[in-house]
Structure formats: C-alpha cells, structure tokens
Amino acid sequence: MSKPLIQAGPATRWSGDEMKRRVARRYAAERRFRALGLAAVLLSLAFLAFLLVTMIVRGAGGFSSTFLTASDATDPAMAGVWGALKGSMLTILVTMALAFPIGVLAAVYLEEFARRNRWNDLVEVSINNLAAVPSIIFGLLGLAVFLKVMNLPRSAPLVGGLTLALMTMPVIVIAGRNAIKAVPPSIRDAALGVGASKMQVVFHHVLPLALPGILTGTIIGMARALGETAPLLMIGMRAFIAAPPAGVTSPATVLPVQIFLWSDEVDRAFVEKTSAAIIVLLVFMLMMNGLAIYLRNKFERRW
C-alpha cells in the first residue's frame, strides 16, 4: 500500500493551532486594511459634507430678493450678488469667445496636421506646461501685458476674460486632442476615400464627432475659470464696485472676488452674505459640472 500524498492529521504544519492563529491574524490585517481604505474615502467626503453644511447653515438666512438683485454695498443689508454675477458672466463670455475657438483650432492642428518636428514639439510642451502653471502667474502676465503694455482698462471683464482665456486654453486643447484622438481612423479613411480634402475630413466629419468630448472639456475648463480668483486680483479686480458693469470695458467684480472682498469685512453681517454668495457660486459650478457629465453620458460613443 502506497503512502497518501498528503498526510492528514496533526503532524503537518498546515493544520496546527499555530497556523490557524497565523491565518486569523492575516485576515484581521486584511480587514483592517480594507477598513482603513474605506475610512480614508469617508473622511474625505466628511470634509466635503462639513464644508457644504457649514456654508448652507451660515448662508441660508442671507438670501432675499435684495441679495439676488443688488450689487455690492457698504451696508450688508443692501448688498447683493447681481453685480458680481453679471461681471462673472461677461468675463466668462469673453473667456469662452477666445479660448474655445483657439483651443479647438490648436487641438485640430496638433492632432491632425502637425508633423513631428522640433517646432511642433515645442508647441506641445508649452501647452502641457501652461496647463500646470499656477493661476496667479497668469495674473502677473495679465498685469504686465494687458494693463501695462497694452493699456487696457483695469478691473474690466475684458482683461479678466483675456487672462482667464490664456489659462483655460491649454485645458481645452488637451481635452480637444483626446476627443479628436478617440475618433476612429476608419471615419477619416472613408471620407478621404470618397474624395474629401483633408480640411473637409476634419471639419465635416472628425470635428462633429469629437464635439461632445470637446464640449465636456470646455465646460469643465469654464467652470474652473468661473471659480478662479487669484489672477483677477492681480489685474485690479478688487475694488468696491457698487453698480453692475455696463459692458466688457467698465469696471466690474466677479463672484469669487466678491466672496473674497466680503470675507475681509469686519461687519459680522457679511459672514451671512459671504456664505450665501458661496452657495450661489457652488450652485453655478454644480450646474456646469452636471451639464458636462450629462453631455458626456449622452453623447459619448465607444467605437
């Protein structure tokens, strides 16, 4: 009779109490590690919840029809966000009018036409770098170039929009390139095959198919520009402006800067106003991000 391959019984190392203890210890470590991971996620989200609840509790009482229709005022009871909101809209409009076309065209060029040479590598490197440059540096650029060299008006939505456009453009280029890259080559081949020129291929076929992806990236970039404060402080947008701006060259303030200005006020009543303004800003950000997610889910295609 041959010996069994594995000997059962207490003699082996694999079934003793020592082994059970070891396995139990390793499984306990496993559970601890898992719990630690969950705790990290929950702790991060708890911070977010704490922040949101704080703002809502402090700011909910600040809403009134005056608050939504008035501009900045020295008396907190008369102060409102409409002026800042209008300033934000004008600024974002300028930003979008510049950054979107330039960003999309640059993305098309880099993805569809640029040959790999030193010059185009330089363009690519500088776009990738610009996406990571701190926003305050763009503010310094705006101050030195738009205000000092070009003599554009201080504190105007035009200058703010220009500065933010330079900041947002790389984001749109990067999103645009990814969206264009995702369009399968067969589309291009088919269009070229029936005699379309390279330009027609790009503008009639590739770009429309890539547009949802580009728009998603653009909206996210715009949302970031909407919440940006530091570069606008650099170009002088920190003055007390008591009337909504009439146009893109009149002095204006924007919502995040208004929040910053109010947060500096000594009057305790401004705490409520600041928090209420933050709620307004967050609602806008949420709406824009929600729109981006909706667009992505609705139009995104897996080829």
CA 131/CA 136 separation, integer angstroms: 13
Only one of the segments 66-74, 78-86, 135-143, 209-217 lies at the binding site for another protein (rule: CB under 8 A); that segment is 135-143
Q: Applying CB under 8 A, does 285 fall inside the site for another protein? A: yes
Q: Applying CB under 8 A, does 173 fall inside the site for another protein? A: yes
Compare residues 186 and 217 and give the one whose CB is closer to another protein: 217
CB of 263 to another protein, least distance (A): 5
Q: Applying CB under 8 A, does 89 fall inside the site for another protein? A: no
CA 75/CA 92 separation, integer angstroms: 28
Q: How many CB atoms lie within 10 A of CB 261?
A: 21
Compare residues 32 and 186 and give the one whose CB is closer to another protein: 32
Pick from 81, 85, 90, 127 the residue near another protein by CB under 8 A.
127
User: Between 37 and 66, how does the x/- string for binding to another protein read (CB under 8 A)?
Assistant: xxxxx-xxx-xx-xx--xx-----------
Half-sphere exposure of 271 (CA within 13 A, CB side): 8
Pick from 5, 6, 8, 36 the residue near another protein by CB under 8 A.
36
Q: Residue 279: enclosing H or E segment and its boundaries? A: helix 269-299
Compare residues 42 and 190 and give the one whose CB is closer to another protein: 42
- Are the CB atoms for 258 and 281 separated by under 8 Å? no
Compare residues 35 and 186 and give the one whose CB is closer to another protein: 35
Pick from 78, 93, 97, 150 the residue near another protein by CB under 8 A.
150
Pick from 77, 243, 246, 293 the residue near another protein by CB under 8 A.
293
Q: For tokens 């990236």, what's the residue?
A: 217
What count of residues does the chain have? Answer: 303
CB of 278 to another protein, least distance (A): 5
CA 33/CA 25 separation, integer angstroms: 12
CB of 213 to another protein, least distance (A): 18
Token pair recorded at residue 254: 């924007």
Q: Applying CB under 8 A, does 128 fall inside the site for another protein? A: yes
DSSP sequence for 7-41: --STTSTTSSHHHHHHHHHHHHHHHHHHHHHHHHH
